[in-house]
A = this chain, B = another copy of it.
Amino acid sequence: MAVKGKGLKLDDKGLVAAIVQDANTNQVLMLGYMNKESAELTLKTGTVWFYSRSRQELWNKGATSGNMLKVKELWLDCDNDAVLVKAEPAGPTCHTGEVSCFFEPLTAEHVAATEG
C-alpha cells in the first residue's frame, strides 16, 4: 500500500508527540511521546505504548494500574510529527486518579512561575 506523504517524522530525540482522546466522550486525556518502536507496538497490540522520557523506556500505558487504553483510531497530523490516538480508557488515565491529566486551569500565575 502506498503511503500518502512521508513517514512519521521524529524530533532530535527520536520522538513524536501523541495526544490521547477518549473515543467516546472526546475528552482529551493526556499527552505522551512515542518513538518508532512504541508506534509499532501501538499499531500491533491495539493498546497505547509510549516512550517515557524520564524513565527512558517503552511504556505500555496502564499495564501497571490496569487502566489500559484500547485504540479505536490513529491519526497523523499534516507535518507527520504528531499523532492523535482515539482510545477507550479502562479507567482514569491520570496517575492522580483524575479522568484526564488536564484537570487544572492554566493561570497567569503558572506562567509567571515558569521553570526551565
Contacts and interface: CB of A to CB of B under 8 A. Distances in A.
A30 interface: yes
Interface residues of A, number: 56
B105 A10 contact: no
Copies in the complex: 2
Contacts of A109: 1-3, 7
A26 B24 CA distance: 11
Contacts of A74: 105-106
A106 B105 CA distance: 31
Given A8-B113, A77-B102, 10 more contacts: A7-B114, A11-B116, A17-B31, A73-B105, A75-B102, A75-B103, A76-B110, A77-B101, A78-B94, A78-B95
